[in-house]
Amino acid sequence: MATGHKRPPTSTGAETVAAEESRQISINRPQHFVLVHGAGHGAWTWYKLKPRLEAAGHRATVLDLAASGVNRRSIEEVFTFSEYSQPLLNFLRDSVPPGERVVLVGHSLGGLSVALAADMFSDKVAAVVFLTAFVPDTVHKPSYVLEQYMATAPKERWRDTVFRPYGDGDQEGSAMIFGPQFLSLLYQLSPGEDLELAKTLVRPSSLFINDLSSQEELSDDGFGSVTRVFIVCNEDKGISEEFQRWMIRNSGIENVAEIGGADHMPMFSKTQELCQCLLVIANKYT
């Protein structure tokens, strides 16, 4: 496992070159990307990617899910995955007009949020992209992939993560707090500055496994009807490549891309490669 961190380019010239590279992929038509963060993180995780997508002529919306980023709720006030994902669901309901379709990009736990959104608003979704993300199927309960992950991931992978129950008996949940050692595992190939940013901004979250296990399966007519793409990150130490490829097989996803040398946070470790990958996906699948 790599122990050093790559430093990001700091010159304006480097950023200009990156933006020009993004423009080199011809655009069939401008797309609207909606970027959804993973557990404990927030809209801030996309700060490097969003301007690159916009420089290429696309729209990019970043959202804080409940109890994430600058959202005012605490995780102790959120008991269901639907509540947690509500900012995304509200956005699709209220801010995407009829006839417009967006490209949903879910990272890590955000994969389940974009899957839920696609199931509810399939007519507003051009494609769903799972970026080294948890992806459900339409056969099992939405909790299935998380249950399989928890059963197969070695306990030492969690390092200094703390799991803490909350609630009063009528409503109960389990908070998950990432420690600096676990964050270092997720960010092992990312710039050190971005790891330090995460240590400052990451908040307690939850996997909502109990709630997801009580929900209905996602539908073939909803989630199963939209174009789905999985982006494999082959140096991910949080969700292993082996488990990523198991999820691809389990969900029946046929459209697969790969970013070599990317850790669990490709928006930091391979920003430009991720941007190029999304531009190709937008051209090919929408």
For residue 206, the model assigns a pLDDT of: 99
In terms of CATH, what superfamily is 30-285?
Answer: Alpha/Beta hydrolase fold, catalytic domain (3.40.50.1820)
pLDDT tens-digit readout, 191-207: 999 999 999 999 999 99
What residue spans define the domains of the chain?
30-285
> 0.85 cut: is pTM over it?
yes
pLDDT tens-digit readout, 135-155: 999 999 999 999 999 999 998
Alpha carbon distance 282, 31 (integer Å)? 7
For residue 170, the model assigns a pLDDT of: 81
For residue 189, the model assigns a pLDDT of: 99
User: Which of 236, 251, 263, 269 is an active site residue?
Assistant: 236
Alpha carbon distance 204, 208 (integer Å)? 13
For residue 16, the model assigns a pLDDT of: 40
For residue 261, the model assigns a pLDDT of: 98
For residue 237, the model assigns a pLDDT of: 98
For residue 9, the model assigns a pLDDT of: 41
For residue 27, the model assigns a pLDDT of: 60
For residue 29, the model assigns a pLDDT of: 85
Whether 137 is a known active-site residue: answer no
Whether 41 is a known active-site residue: answer no
Q: Which residues of the chain have pLDDT under 50?
A: 1-22
User: Which of 22, 68, 85, 108 is an active site residue?
Assistant: 108
What 3 state SS string does the chain have?
Answer: CCCCCCCCCCCHHHHHHHHHHHHCCCCCCCCEEEEECCCCCCHHHHCCHHHHHHHCCCEEEEECCCCCCCCCCCHHHCCCHHHHCHHHHHHHHHHCCCCCCEEEEEECCHHHHHHHHHHHCHHHEEEEEEECCCCCCCCCCCCHHHHHHHHHCCHHHHCCCEEEEEECCCCEEEEEECCHHHHHHHCCCCCHHHHHHHHHHCCCECCCHHHHHCCCCCCCCCHHHCCEEEEEECCCCCCCHHHHHHHHHHHCCCEEEEECCCCCCHHHHCHHHHHHHHHHHHHHHC
User: Which of 37, 41, 58, 264 is an active site residue?
Assistant: 264
Whether 108 is a known active-site residue: answer yes
